[in-house]
Chain A
Amino acid sequence: MKNNPKDLALDGLIRQNPTFKLVLGTCPTLALTTAAINGVGMGLAVTFVLMCSNMIISLLRNVIPSKVRIPAYILIIATFVTIVRMFLNKFAPSIATAMGPYLPLIVVNCIILGRAEAFASKNPVVDSILDGLFMGLGFMIALTLMGVFREVLGAGTVFGVKLWNFKIEFFTHASGALFTYALFIALFVYFYGLYSKKSKRKALLADKKEVKA
């Protein structure tokens, strides 16, 4: 199986976007999007862990016995999560406290385990690293967009910069998180539908031209 980097990028960012299309890793999505900066931090942390764990798991894919693969994956993932946690505690303690329990919980994040099981355990190293990168970026972009939306409406700020005094506190509560998530998924599905229709039509046209030629 040969993977095209462009396909990997499109899969991670749009076609199989982990947040909006696969609906994985919903706990941090709902809990950490109260501020845009938390979304960016969480996204970067997950991207790093995902790239590293995908790389190691892909390297070891012929060594790990399939009966104990899940504990082995968890062990590998936990190693990198610990590294990220120590790094953040040392250099960005404010972000580490803002993320609270969700930072160590990256270990059981469905996206990371899902990509390990579905991709890294079957594909070569470079592809797995790229997949980890783009999946992580897709997650980060989704979280940042939701974070900006909720921060602007709920607190009147963007990345901590004050815009105005007007606040709709609903969006900083848990109910606002679920509402925002549903809204974003609905919009994503709508625009994705438009996009896939267009690309299908293009493919059809291309097919017809080939037939004529």
Chain B
Amino acid sequence: MQKLIISNTPHIKSKSSTKRIMIDVLIALVPATVMGVVYFGLYALLLVALSILSCIASEVIYLLIRGEKFKDILNKFDFTSAVTGLLLGLNLPANCPWYIPLLGGVFAVIVVKMLFGGTGKNFVNPAIAARVFLLISFAEAMTTWAVPSVGAIKTSTVATGATALGSVIKGERVISNLDLFLGTGVSSGALGETCKIALIVGYVYLLIRKVVDYKPLIYIGVTGLMTVVLQGSFSAFLPSVLSGGLMLGAIFMATDYVTTPNTTVGNIVYFVALGLLTALLRHLKGTEVVSYCILLMNFFVPLIDRFIVPKPFGYQKPKKEAKNG
């Protein structure tokens, strides 16, 4: 005879969990990481590894200090800090000093995430906040971009050059769109953002796994269109979309579940505002601003959620009272 099981709701459970989603994101970032290592050499791999290690170690040490048992921490470990670390690593220039990912990881996990209550409570995206922290702290090291060297994997230091975006904004066509797309030629940038095709492969994987949806495309599209408006020519669309950290930011960092609005309408407002802001600030400042824009819009998410609330199921607007006389 079967036992009667009495339990609380919900009775139907999905296999989806934080851990599963985070592992999906990690898998989606593998192509970008591999291409980063191919372009920039083994030192890039070391930077990414250091960044991930620093994030995970910060989380474990913080929890140990808080008095949790090591076994519990292992059971609860859900790879969010690994994703943070990987994203942070991909956001670094390929030739920055080794202590930058270490410090960034500590800042991202301890200050932005753990002090505010751990996974799901971070007030902004940890990787973005850490990148901005590092940009402010080590302005020179964080803006000296390496030029990718395609071919044999190089372990020596790579040559440095101006970022692709700077010249694109000035209207100079130094780099062809294909070079920007593949990350070859002289299109320099952060470790994981140069090879767009790898990022797109990751995006398609996330789309299939239903981790993210079409909304990052709104961000990318609006940025491109706004740039066209600002520069007055349609040839500005592709370079602006393909250069800088726009794709990496739009697909992997702006879509962080914790720091996006709860409703569909709210999400659309959020991504459109991000796109407008990015194009406008890029135009005014002449440098890459994606990380600042995402940070800024993350602060607005509670505000968006406050004003755009979902309609309860079956809700009907109260009829206006007929005017008397």
Q: A residues near B, CB below 8 A? A: 166-171, 173, 175, 179
| Residue contact B139 to A170, C-beta cutoff 8 Å | no
Looking at the complex, which of B42-50, B64-72, B130-138, B171-179 is the stretch in contact with chain A? Answer: B130-138
Smallest beta-carbon distance A128→chain B, Å: 40
User: What separation, in Å, do the CA atoms of A179 and B111 have in the docked complex?
Assistant: 10
Known: A168-B103, A169-B137, A170-B136. 13 other contacts (CB 8 A): A166-B99, A167-B137, A168-B137, A168-B138, A169-B136, A169-B138, A169-B139, A170-B133, A170-B137, A171-B137, A173-B136, A175-B136, A179-B111
Smallest beta-carbon distance B67→chain A, Å: 14
Name the A residues within 8 Å of B138 (CB-CB).
Answer: 168-169
User: What separation, in Å, do the CA atoms of A128 and B250 have in the docked complex?
Assistant: 60
Contact string against A for B residues 91-110, beta-carbon threshold 8 Å, 1 for contact and 0 otherwise: 00000000100010000000
User: What separation, in Å, do the CA atoms of A171 and B111 have in the docked complex?
Assistant: 14
Name the A residues within 8 Å of B111 (CB-CB).
Answer: 179
User: What separation, in Å, do the CA atoms of A57 and B127 have in the docked complex?
Assistant: 53
Q: What are 16 A-B residue pairs whose CB atoms fall within 8 Å in the complex?
A: A166-B99, A167-B137, A168-B103, A168-B137, A168-B138, A169-B136, A169-B137, A169-B138, A169-B139, A170-B133, A170-B136, A170-B137, A171-B137, A173-B136, A175-B136, A179-B111
Closest to A173 in B: B136
Task: Kindly list the 9 A-B residue pairs having the minimum CB-CB distance in the complex, ordered from nearest.
Answer: A170-B137, A168-B137, A169-B137, A170-B136, A170-B133, A173-B136, A169-B136, A169-B139, A175-B136
User: What separation, in Å, do the CA atoms of A194 and B111 have in the docked complex?
Assistant: 23
Q: What is the number of residues of chain B that contact chain A, defined by CB distance less than 8 Å?
A: 8
Contact string against A for B residues 133-148, beta-carbon threshold 8 Å, 1 for contact and 0 otherwise: 1001111000000000
Closest to B111 in A: A179
Name the B residues within 8 Å of A169 (CB-CB).
Answer: 136-139
User: What separation, in Å, do the CA atoms of A56 and B139 have in the docked complex?
Assistant: 50
Smallest beta-carbon distance B88→chain A, Å: 15
Name the B residues within 8 Å of A167 (CB-CB).
Answer: 137
Name the A residues within 8 Å of B136 (CB-CB).
Answer: 169-170, 173, 175
User: What separation, in Å, do the CA atoms of A179 and B103 have in the docked complex?
Assistant: 16
Smallest beta-carbon distance A31→chain B, Å: 17
User: What separation, in Å, do the CA atoms of A167 and B138 have in the docked complex?
Assistant: 8
Smallest beta-carbon distance A138→chain B, Å: 26
Between A167, A169, A170, A179, the greatest number of chain B beta carbons within 10 A of the residue's beta carbon is seen for A170
Closest to A179 in B: B111
Name the A residues within 8 Å of B139 (CB-CB).
Answer: 169
Smallest beta-carbon distance B241→chain A, Å: 30
Between B99, B103, B137, B138, the greatest number of chain A beta carbons within 10 A of the residue's beta carbon is seen for B137
User: What separation, in Å, do the CA atoms of A31 and B133 have in the docked complex?
Assistant: 19
User: What separation, in Å, do the CA atoms of A110 and B103 have in the docked complex?
Assistant: 37
Smallest beta-carbon distance B130→chain A, Å: 11
Smallest beta-carbon distance A41→chain B, Å: 26
Name the B residues within 8 Å of A171 (CB-CB).
Answer: 137
User: What separation, in Å, do the CA atoms of A182 and B267 have in the docked complex?
Assistant: 31
User: What separation, in Å, do the CA atoms of A169 and B100 have in the docked complex?
Assistant: 13
Smallest beta-carbon distance B123→chain A, Å: 13
Smallest beta-carbon distance A125→chain B, Å: 45
Closest to A186 in B: B115
Name the A residues within 8 Å of B133 (CB-CB).
Answer: 170
User: What separation, in Å, do the CA atoms of A167 and B97 have in the docked complex?
Assistant: 13
Name the B residues within 8 Å of A173 (CB-CB).
Answer: 136
Name the B residues within 8 Å of A166 (CB-CB).
Answer: 99
Smallest beta-carbon distance A153→chain B, Å: 9
Name the B residues within 8 Å of A179 (CB-CB).
Answer: 111
User: What separation, in Å, do the CA atoms of A175 and B138 have in the docked complex?
Assistant: 14
Smallest beta-carbon distance B325→chain A, Å: 54
